Homo-oligomer: A and B are copies of this chain.
Amino acid sequence: GERMVLFGGPCAAESYDICMETGSQVKALCEKLDISYVFKSSFDKANRTSSGSYRGPSVEGGLDILRRVKKDLQVPIVTDVHESYQCAEAAEVADVLQIPAFLCRQTDLLKAAARTGKAVKIKKGQFMAPEDMKYAVDKVRGEGNNNVFLTERGASFGYHTLVVDMRSLPIMRQYTPVIFDVTHSVQQPGGKGGSSGGQREFAPFLARAAAAAGVDGFFIETHPNPEKALSDGPNMIPLHQMEDFLRMLKRYWELHTLHH
C-alpha cells in the first residue's frame, strides 16, 4: 500500500519482441516515477466473443515468452488462468495469477490458484455486487494464501456497455487491496459484432476518478501500436502515451495517499 502499483503490458503475449519493447519501456517509466511494476500479458485468450478472434499464442508458446521476458526484464509477471489445471504450470512463471472476471465465482479455479502460493488477483465479475467479492477473497484465504487482491473493471449496464461504480472501490478495499483496470473498464462487450469494442477516450477520466476515490494500483494494457494489436486494440493505451498517463495517475494517487 505504500507505493503505487502498475500491472501493465500488451493484452496478449503476441511475440517476445512486442513483450520486450513494451515491457522495457514501461519498466523504465515506472523506475523514473517510483511505481512498482508487474509485467502483464496473457498466454491464452480463452473467452473471446467469437471463435474467429485471435486466441493468443499456444499455452506453451505463451508461457515460454513470459519466462524469457521475466528473465530478461527482471520484473514480476502476472498472467490469466482459465481452468484449474493451468494454475500450477502458469505459476512456474508468474508471480501473480489473475482470475478473469467471468470466472470470479469458480471455486476450483480460485482454490487451485491459491494453492500455488502465488499472489492471486481476482477481477470482479461484471455481474457481481462488490460486497459479494469478499466470498471470492475468502475462497483464496481458505487455502492459506493471504496474498490476494481484487480488481474493478466495470459492471453490466444494459447491453454492450459497462459502468464503473466507484462505490465498489471503498467497499472492496475493506477486504483486501484493490486495483483499477483502466483498460477493460472502457470495454464495450460485443459492441463490434463478433468482437468487443472500446472507448479509449474515457480511460483517463475513469482512471483519475478511481485514483481520487482511492485504489492501490492500476492495470493498464498498452501496446506500441494498438491499431495493429491482435486483441483488445480499441481499449489499449498507446505505449508512447504511457508516460503522460502514468504521471497523471501518480499525481492523483499521491494526493490521495497524502490525505487518507
Contact = CB atoms under 8 A, between A and B. Distances in A.
A165 B157 contact: yes
Give the interface size class of chain A: 35 or more
A89 interface: no
Interface in A88-136: 102-103, 105-109, 125-129, 131-132, 135
Nearest to A109: B83
Contacts of A85: 83, 85
A234 to B, nearest CB: 15
A16 interface: no
A259 interface: yes
Interface of A: 46-51, 55, 82-85, 102-103, 105-109, 125-129, 131-132, 135, 138-139, 142, 155-161, 163-167, 169-170, 189-190, 194, 199, 202, 205-206, 208-214, 248, 251-252, 255-256, 259
21 contacts: A46-B106, A46-B108, A49-B132, A51-B135, A55-B107, A82-B106, A83-B85, A126-B156, A127-B127, A127-B156, A128-B190, A158-B161, A158-B163, A163-B167, A164-B166, A170-B202, A170-B205, A208-B213, A209-B209, A209-B210, A209-B212
